[in-house]
Amino acid sequence: MKGRSFLAIVLAMAITVLAKMTEARTLNSSIGTHQSKINSTSHLQFDKIKGVSVGGWLVTEPFISPSLFWSAIHWSQGSARSNVSIVDEYTLCQVLGQERARVLLLQHYKTWITRNDIQEIKRHGFNLVRIPIGYWAWKKQGTVDQYVNNITFYDPYVGGLQLDYFENALRWCKEAGLKAWIDLHTAPGSQNGFDNSGQRLLNEDLGWLAKNTTKELTHAILRNIFDEYVDGKWKDVIVGVEIINEPMGHILGIENVIEFYNETINDYLDTGKKTPLVIQEAFQDVGFWNDYWNDTKLTIYVDHHHYEVFSYDQLLNDQFTRLTNIMEYGEALEKEQSAHGSIVGEWSGAITDCATWLNGLGIGARYDGTYYKTVNSSREHRYILGACQSHKDISLWDREYKMQVRQFIEAQLTSFSANSKGWIFWNWKTESAPEWDYLKLVTHGVFPHPFDNLTYFNSDGSMGTVLTSSLESSRNNRIKYNAHASSSAALGPTGIAFNAIKLLMQTASKFVTVLLFVVTALVAF
């Protein structure tokens, strides 16, 4: 009798513990945890970098300006090279040839970013413009293989045109009172295989650093940047030079990337100039670069790029998880500031990968399953998460989707401002990718303006009651938000099972804890 009574007491205690654990998982408790962490750090600070990129201009990207690529495809009909698919700037120039590609690209350069854009960037409250530029800007005009310092390297790009427009942008920034950040966005042979490197290489080896010529040419271009654009007439405009954008460290070999960075930094130190250099994280974790180049007097910033849409697991996250991921990312950023100041130099409002051609021209989205029909990906899960809507005109988004994107943007503004040297949004504008388009987002009230005009966060960075109640409602519905897709794109039994398994895995540790408590108590008895 006493044994049964004791067992009953133990079980009651276990149930109580489990109830407390469950209670701890409720929204308000979780939000309280993150509120205290943010409050102890800082609030939005206005002396930090508040930047925007003018991507898709001097380095073209299919998802930013699809009409350019549609035009190229149309122009290519009947071409002797029409058996080559146009998927990036490399193949655009390859198929059209130098003359026709030159005509198409010149029109794009003249119209995509103008003085008015730079003036508007200033008017909207930004203080810095990140300007991506391709290495082929340093090709001698009218040649196919002659580069700066008489280096020979063949590629089909139309070169020698971009520097005039680049200097226009610097002059416009100076007139507007904006600072500029030079971003060498591409490298010969491609440093990551993305179309934004100029050359999409889905299943091919990366060419950058594979041959000494690619390293030699990149160094020569960077030396030219140091000589021509750092100090001199641009001294009061350019506040940073990014050595190379998004080198794929785990493919190139992170030791090779470190070696290249080290050589570049030493070259720059020899010039005696003081404008900060920027190293891109190379897809390494926050804090990876803490032990590098701390013994130099030169300011070196680390540029992190953070997105939540380029893997199936990220897309599976509900809104609460997505927002807390950003909070935790901010906490990691804060810890590395004592080693190197860092910024989040690319981020967006995207909560799905549904923007047309975001994953590449002709490639679909993971979110609606079309990605797996266009890419042979044996490593990815092939479940439909929902029906895409973010590729549509933003006026067609439903209210809840707009709300979720706004919350996500506010979370990033708050976290990145409080925990780093600032942020640079990607991108100023697009043709048809609203989640990545500042102008469309702010016009429709999805991006805060001014930047501290927060709806779901308090001005000190804590989550407001509106957000709390909104997320509580969403959290009660354990299925990830699916925009009116119950009939057209149901999860299906496989997807539901996967979500159920994920939920069980998330809570399994709690049950194990309780079970161990019970077993320990029984053994003691």
What pLDDT does residue 381 have? 54
Which residues constitute the domain of residue 513? Answer: 492-525
Residues in the chain, pLDDT under 50: 1-46, 478, 481-525
Q: b/e map of 335-355 (b: 16 or more CB within 10 Å)?
A: ebeebbbbbbbbbbbbbbbbb
Pairwise CA distance, residues 472 & 466, whole Å: 10
Classify residue 24: in a domain, yes or no: no
Asked whether residue 50 is assigned to any structural domain, the reply reads yes
User: Do 403 and 508 sit in the same domain of this protein?
Assistant: no
3-state secondary structure of 261: helix
In terms of domains, do 433 and 523 share one? no
Element (H, E) at 216: helix 212-229
- Looking at the fold, whether 348 and 287 belong to one and the same domain comes out as yes
First-to-final CA distance of the chain: 13
Contact in structure between 148 and 184 (CB atoms under 8 Å): no
Could you tell me if 46 and 450 are in contact, meaning their C-beta atoms sit under 8 angstroms apart?
Answer: no
Q: Which two structure tokens, joined as six digits, stand for 507?
A: 């809570």
On whether both 485 and 496 belong to a single domain, the answer is: no
> Residue holding tokens 């654009």?
229
Output the pLDDT for position 38: 31
396 class by beta-carbon count within 10 Å (0-12 exposed, 13-18 middle, 19+ buried): exposed
**pLDDT score of 377:** 59
Asked whether residue 201 is domain-assigned, the answer is: yes
Q: Are 309 and 355 in contact (CB under 8 A)?
A: no
**53 closest CA partner among 95, 1, 113, 134:** 113
So what's the pLDDT on residue 457? 79
Q: Indicate whether 284 and 313 sit together in one domain.
A: yes
Residues 342 and 485 in one domain: yes
Burial of 220 (0-12, 13-18, 19+ CB in 10 A): middle
Q: How far is it, in rounded angstroms, from Cα 474 to Cα 476?
A: 5
The residues assigned a catalytic role are: 246, 306
Q: What is the pLDDT of residue 497?
A: 43
Q: In 450-491, which ranges are continuous DSSP H helix? A: 465-476
Give phi and psi for 386, each to the nearest 5: 170, 180
191 plus 253 within the same structural domain: yes
Distance CA 305, CA 185 (A): 13
If one counts the domains in the chain, the total is 2
Residue 518 and residue 468 share a domain: no
18 occurs within a structural domain: no
State the Cα torsion 81-86-90-94 to the nearest 10°: 10
For residues 188 and 83, membership in a common domain is answered with: yes
Is the same domain home to 164 and 209? yes
Task: With respect to residue 14, please indicate whether it lies within any of the assigned structural domains.
Answer: no
Say if residue 171 is in the same domain as residue 209: yes
* pLDDT at site 506: 45
Distance CA 476, CA 26 (A): 9
Residue 100: Cβ within 10 Å count: 17
Beta strands in 212-341 (DSSP E): 238-242, 277-280, 300-305
**Do 424 and 520 fall within a single domain?**
no
| Domain annotation covers residue 151 | yes
Q: Per the domain annotation, does 498 fall within a domain?
A: yes
Confidence (pLDDT) at 372: 81
Which residue's structure tokens are 């933003």? 394
| Alpha-carbon span 193 to 207, nearest angstrom | 9
Q: Is residue 35 part of a domain?
A: no
Distance CA 386, CA 326 (A): 23
